Structure 1
Amino acid sequence: MKIVVAPDKFKGSLSAAHACAAIIEGIRRVTKDAEIVGIPMADGGEGTVEALVAATGGQLRQVKVCGPLGEEVEATYGILGIQRGKESSSVKTAVLEMAAAAGLPLVAPERRNPLQTTTFGVGQVILDGLEVGCRDFVIGIGGSATNDCGCGMAQALGVKFFDKSGKAITTPMTGARMGQAAGLDCGNIDPRINECSFVVACDVENPLLGPTGASYIYSPQKGADGQKVAILETNMTHIIGLIEAEVGKKVRDIPGAGAAGGLGAGMMAFLNGKLEKGIDIVMRCCRFAERISGGQLIITGEGRIDDSTVYGKTIAGIAREALKQSIPVIALAGSVAGEVGRIHDIGVSAVLPICSGPMGLAEAMRNGSELLSRAAEQALRAALIQLDK
């Protein structure tokens, strides 16, 4: 019997890799003989690096970079164990979350101001990946503290920005400095960029500008008041005009351009990045369809299952592929809310909460591993009734 274990993280309690281990422990309480394929999962957001490194047998790498406010931070990114063959060589794939270098949690609440934050450190992480031989990049862009259209990132990679006097801007580009730039030159961007592919995990469809764009929708979450939002929108409108003229293509209206304070637009403009749904990228990187082939059961799970689960997140992606291969799916959750019937409709056979009785959130999170193991054990025992027929 082949059982696939493919959970996302249980946020605040278990990483995807730890959740995977806990479910496998529960399965082993039922059967010692089953073939178990563990695939820690993510949806392109927080936890993607750790999940993909674990799922592919890769490695983590730390690098010191410029943080969102210019202070040095240590960012962690991953190098996948599964590589793309390219004639006589193989191409390393780096996976990174922009939040590791420019994320909102790196800025204390009282210091949050997207006029002053930068994605410069994101570019430095990419440079480190280039140095160790990576040429394929998978980049998650959720959780940003920034609203600089990716200009800081581009600057770290060699793009030059100039002020009205024609002098190069040497300090990291920020939301405020977008408005000070009078021109830019991409001629000095690291030439290795042309050898690379950049796939960007993006699950929002906001354009760069306007009432549903980066500044109006997301900068208030990063510390901008109404006056700052207006300045950011003006600066963003100004800088994207300069960028599009320099690179020779229009990106401002492409769905996802407004993600991560315009980093989506910057990735497309400066790096020729391709925006895709995070779960699709993760499943491709870990060869999900291939690895579940021949399975009799998939057990997945995450911290909370609710009405939003059906919209392109981890469990929805797993269920979609499982349906193609006629493999039943059981989903375990720290909490279940909303109409679970909709989750059944996308191919999940059963949704089961892991809490065995009344308990507070702190207790449940503290005992997450054992609760998950017990739930997996009982889920498998129930599934075997049908599978053994």
Structure 2
Amino acid sequence: MAGLVEGGIGDNLNTVLRGIIPGLNTMDTPVHPSHSSDNRSPANDSTIIDISTDEGGGGDEGDTDQGGNGAGGGQTVPEMRGLRSILDRTILFILLLAVKILIDHRLGLFVVIGLVGTFFHHNGNLKQQVILKAKRKIFSLIIMLVFLLFNIFFVYYIFSDQHLYRSLIFCQPVYETMDFWMLLWIVGITDFMIKYMTIAVKGIVTILPRRCLSFKRRGKIYLLIEQFSQMYRTLTPMPIWIQYLSNDPETHWSINYGLVLLYVIFKAGSLIDKLKEVRAATKGICFDVQYGVHLSKGEPPVNGQACPICQDDYTDPIQLQCKHIFCDECVSLWFDRERTCPMCRAKVADDPTWRDGNTSLYVHLF
């Protein structure tokens, strides 16, 4: 009887607590033996009330939220895998398209590779021969000239139906349709042909004997040839681009001529810069640059009886501002490649670009 009364009271108390404090956990839980002060029967255990605090309930909710966030985070894994799969397929398609383009334009690709390789070979060979001065190999330079002229003739002969040589005189080549790729092809071929001609002209200057042209002045000649070449290569693409921008039947004439006007304005700035460079190179030939003070025959050299550059007796010795002495011709050739003294690295000369026989690799596509 007492057990029934206690059980009923316990049930009623749980019901009341659930109504008053919803956050309380009134679920019946068994009591651990270590928490019990006496030995009760299993029937009596049901009357013990386990009231959890808010922290426990909050912990349950937190666990639930964390589980939800974990599930949400887990959903990003399939999305990332799907994105990676799409990227993989896209890259494969791009590679497939690139292979198709290479196959369709294999002749042009082989020509471009041959042009670039030929340019690097002969440009490097010319620079080496310029450094050798009197020890240059005349026969090697003659072979280079013949090979360059043969390459120019061969390219124009292979594509004779397009009359690409007309671009050299600012005329339009022959083509069926002028699209963007055809434009790049014509401009690129013309630019490389002018480069070959530039290297050939520099080769002729290198072959000239010393009595015709001193080695001291050749650097200025190389610079002038290069500046004229770059200005010419800046002008040759203009007729092709003007034709391409102005002849679009699907676009209104005002837009076409507006594009041409913007292009001409853009090119005008480049042409003005090139004209200034050509003018400066021309003045350099007319006026001899003095890197130091010429010494008289009676003055003893400061740094030994031999020139540090040529390791031979001084010829027309010149003393730089840093007090080091060299042959005038030797130090002039040195400053065609460097800006500093060979001994102490003190800055003496201006920018030596293009005075060493080098030709610009930059392709003037526009």
TM-score band by shorter chain is: under 0.3
Higher relative contact order (CA 8 A, sep 6+): 1
TM-score, normalising length: structure 1: 0.24
TM-score, normalising length: structure 2: 0.25
* Bigger fraction of residues in strand: 1
Higher radius of gyration, 1 or 2: 2
